[in-house]
Amino acid sequence: MVLAAEIGQLRWMVMFDVYKVREDFPILCTDVHGRPLVYFDNAATSQKPQCVIDAVIDHYAQHNSNIHRGVHQLSERCSAAYEAARSKVRGFINAPRDEDVIFTSGTTDSINLVAQSFSSAYLRKGDEVIVTEMEHHSNIVPWQMACERSGASLRTIPFDDQGDLELHLLKEMISDDTRMLAVSHVSNVLGSVNPVKEMVSVAHGHGVPVLVDAAQSAPHIPVDVKDIDCDFLAFSGHKVHAETGIGALYGKSEWLQEMPPYQGGGGMVANVKVGGTTYAEPPLKFEAGTPNYIGAISLGAALDYMTGLGMNEIAAHEERLTEHMLESLGRFEGLTLYGDATLRCPVFSFNLEGLHHYDVGRILDKMGIAVRTGTHCAEPVMDHYGVTGTVRASLALYNTIEEIDVLLEGLERVRSIFA
């Protein structure tokens, strides 16, 4: 039995060699304050592999031209690369058709697109939108704005101290007045993986569409829109090892056909006359102006990189990191970890007794350890636990067990400095 388990472990290590993976990320060799960088701020943004950097440089150096407009060779090449990237996003999230994928500037932009377009068509006074208490501000504020404009109201599903949503309350809250359920797949503070498939099933039982914020799931676990059966799904390129300023929105084709455009301009029209305009078919209907085509190309390269490693292999590696982190943090005296959800991704928020999160973060930085401190754009989560902020260590596919040990040594040092 032991031998079988060891062989299993060995096979997995050969399939996912994290030390080899690290060689793909030039920045991981950097020293910070004279110490090797330990980068644990991946929930804010992740680092880029050389193949993504090369894709960007290569396109600027050899192919750059605005897309969808030119008849010349460079424009055709860039247009083809942009549409190929759309196809890669479709494959990554298992969407039915390339046309169901809209390029945006990121998760925030994707959610604003839906909140504005959907609410102008379907949200009226007396209607309700449901979000959760653990959303990033990006999945709260656009809905608050939509509700203010329309006279609808916003309701929230609470979570328990463990970081699991009080799912039974969704069944009580949802009604004939509900027009949208918007929920994060993974919390950017607690790491909780929310049961989005189950939530979609409840919502659809009432004819309510669901938007899934996949900003923190796309980097860590397979995301399958057909399996989840969500109506919309948003994620950001810069968190899945692509450039900043690019992201994607998936929408079911019946919604994308029906919903009005979010912004007007070039590229999103069929015909423009002074007397009126007809719009292009989706996805172009929602891509006004020159899109971030180099960003899209970088996203395609990043998704190729991740699928090359294997999303299941990435998830298995991160599960091992999570186990080690939970065990190490659990042993650390005076440390409060926020959230211990049944299913989780490698995002850990905590505080040290008697110490301000900012001070902890600043001292860790002096040791080359990059963590984030503060509210993480999720103030309702801070309010839930009655704290002003936390230290957040968020890991990615290239992090190692040894780096977790460096963090724990760092925390010991912080404690001794303040003792």
* Residues classed as catalytic: 377
Q: How far is the CB of 245 from ligand PMP (least distance, A)?
A: 9
Q: How far is the CB of 415 from ligand PMP (least distance, A)?
A: 28
What residues are paired with 250 via a beta bridge? 101, 233
Lay out the sheet containing 232-236: strands in order across: 101-104, 247-251, 232-236, 210-213, 178-184, 128-132, 153-157
Question: Is-contact 299 85, C-beta < 8 A?
Answer: yes
The number of CA neighbours under 13 Å toward the Cβ of 214 is 28
CA distance linking residue 348 with residue 187, whole number of Å: 10
| CB nearer ligand PMP, residue 372 or residue 415 | 372
Of 10-49, which residues contact ligand PMP (CB under 6 A)?
Answer: 43
Question: Is-contact 361 351, C-beta < 8 A?
Answer: no
CA distance linking residue 47 with residue 239, whole number of Å: 8
Q: Which two tokens stand for residue 117?
A: 């377009």
CA distance linking residue 67 with residue 295, whole number of Å: 13
Q: Which two tokens stand for residue 242?
A: 């692509």
Distance, CA of 329 to chain centre = 24
Reduced to 3 states, what is the DSSP secondary structure of residue 413? Answer: helix
Residue 188 interacting with ligand PMP (CB under 6 A): yes
Residue 216 interacting with ligand PMP (CB under 6 A): yes
Q: How far is the CB of 112 from ligand PMP (least distance, A)?
A: 9
Alpha helices in 16-151 (DSSP H): 18-22, 50-58, 73-93, 107-122, 141-150
Q: How far is the CB of 377 from ligand PMP (least distance, A)?
A: 6
- Which residue from 398, 293, 247 is spatially nearest to 56, judged by alpha carbons? 293
Which of 117, 236, 349, 390 is the binder for ligand PMP (CB under 6 A)?
Answer: 236
Q: How far is the CB of 173 from ligand PMP (least distance, A)?
A: 21
Q: How far apart are the first and last CA of the chain?
A: 46
Binding string, residues 296-335; x marks residues near ligand PMP by CB under 6 A? ----------------------------------------
| CB nearer ligand PMP, residue 68 or residue 344 | 344
Q: Which two tokens stand for residue 208?
A: 């309510």
Which of 46, 184, 373, 400 is the binder for ligand PMP (CB under 6 A)?
Answer: 184
Which of 67, 114, 211, 215 is the binder for ligand PMP (CB under 6 A)?
Answer: 215
Reduced to 3 states, what is the DSSP secondary structure of residue 349? Answer: strand
CA distance linking residue 25 with residue 17, whole number of Å: 14
Amino acid identity, position 416? S
Number of residues that bind ligand PMP (CB under 6 A): 14
Residue 382 interacting with ligand PMP (CB under 6 A): no
Alpha helices in 292-400 (DSSP H): 293-309, 311-331, 357-366, 379-385
Q: How far is the CB of 378 from ligand PMP (least distance, A)?
A: 8
Of 94-153, which residues contact ligand PMP (CB under 6 A)?
Answer: 106-108, 136, 138-139
Q: How far is the CB of 184 from ligand PMP (least distance, A)?
A: 5
Q: Which residues in this chain contact ligand PMP in the complex, by CB under 6 A?
A: 43, 106-108, 136, 138-139, 184, 188, 213, 215-216, 236, 377
